[in-house]
Amino acid sequence: MGEFGQRRSGMKPALRRKARMGKERGAGVGEERSLEERLGEYPELRARFEAMLAIVENADGDIVKADEAEEQVITELRQLGRSALQGWAERKQRKVQSESEGRSGVTHKVKKTSTGTRGSGRSR
């Protein structure tokens, strides 16, 4: 570890991750998409970012104090995180489900509808 918790490469973890993701996806030869294009695939995240920008720009003109702005930003960040994780979980579930459907011999969990076998009578 280098100074201020950065690794010796001098690159912050988020930038290293972005560079690694670009290599994994084969990006770099004219394939890099803008943030606008990427957000187009995730309307719920786009709405959250737009709400965050409205707070920053004080679009409604109702934020007077820094404490109010901070509170609204924190609330919006929490909702953004919730939306991001919800979307991630849904996409992951669809991917796993489609992969398992493609494999033969995979059994699916099905909710049991039977309450058991009926008794044959009184025991003595």
Q: Structural domain tally of the chain? A: 1
Range of the domain at 48: 33-98
Residue 42 is assigned to a structural domain of this protein: yes
Residues 42, 50: Cα–Cα separation, whole Å: 12
Examine the pLDDT at 26 and tell me if it is beyond 60: no
Q: Is residue 4 part of a domain?
A: no
Q: What is the pLDDT of residues 28-44, one digit of tens each?
A: 445 799 999 999 999 99
Would residue 77 count as lying in a domain? yes
pTM of this structure? 0.55
For residue 122, being part of any structural domain is answered with no
Residue 19 lies in a domain: no
Q: List the structure tokens of 79.
A: 């909702």
Is 25 within the bounds of a domain? no
Residue 51 has pLDDT above 50, yes or no: yes
Structure tokens at 10: 């001098």
